[in-house]
Structure 1
Amino acid sequence: MESIGLTIKRLRKEKGLSQSDLASQLGMSRSTISSIENNTVAEIGIRKVEAILNVFGYTLAAVAQRRRPTLDQLKETNFHGQ
């Protein structure tokens, strides 16, 4: 799974924007964008993430985590084809 920082960096580069360009559009500092992209920011607010994603036409969504199957479930489904 790609981290949110790497996702933002990839989207920014696909749009041909520099960190400064993106920061200017959002009223943030370039160092904030850099810290987010490099996962060095101590804490990032959900509103900042949402604002950044909105620039690229994305939205923030919550999805349920997939539960890993138990050993018994794997045995029942013949997981390894034995």
Structure 2
Amino acid sequence: MESLGKLIKILRKERKISQQDLAKQYGMSRATISGIENNTVSEIGIRKIEAILNGFGYELTAVPRQSKRPTLDTLKKVNFHG
């Protein structure tokens, strides 16, 4: 969520939109927009984030996380032990 908040803040500032104006556009409070941007809001609906991003011409998508450590199956496939 932290990176989404940073992105929303960047997009908002690039377009010279105030937090208050963005909040009004999406039926939220200015404090909620601030919380999203600063990653301090405890809970926010994904639809709200998606609506804001869509308004800026972005699409919210999910991609699988890359594991930092290989699984046993992965190690077997690459013949890790020779």
If the length of structure 2 is used for normalisation, what is the TM-score? 0.76
Shift of 1:6: 0.7
Cα deviation for residue 13 of structure 1 reads 0.6
Aligned-pair distance for 1:66? 2.2
Q: Deviations over 1:3-56 (max 9, x none)?
A: 111111011111110101111111111111001101110111101110110110
Structure 2 distance, partners of 1:7, 1:65, is 19
Once the two structures are TM-superposed, the CA of residue 59 in structure 1 deviates from its matched residue by 1.1
- Give the equivalent residue in structure 2 for 1:37: 37
Q: State percent identity of aligned pairs.
A: 63
Aligned match of 1:80: none
* In 2: Cα distance, 1:52 partner to 1:32 partner: 12
Whether 2:19 is the aligned partner of 1:13: answer no
Residue identity matched to 1:54: N
Q: Which amino acid aligns with 1:23?
A: A
TM-score under structure 1 length normalisation: 0.76
| 1:4 match | 4
- Structure 1: give runs of 5+ residues left out of the alignment: 77-82
- The count of corresponding residues between Structure 1 and Structure 2 is 71
The separation in 1 between residues aligned to 2:39 and 2:21, in whole angstroms, is 19
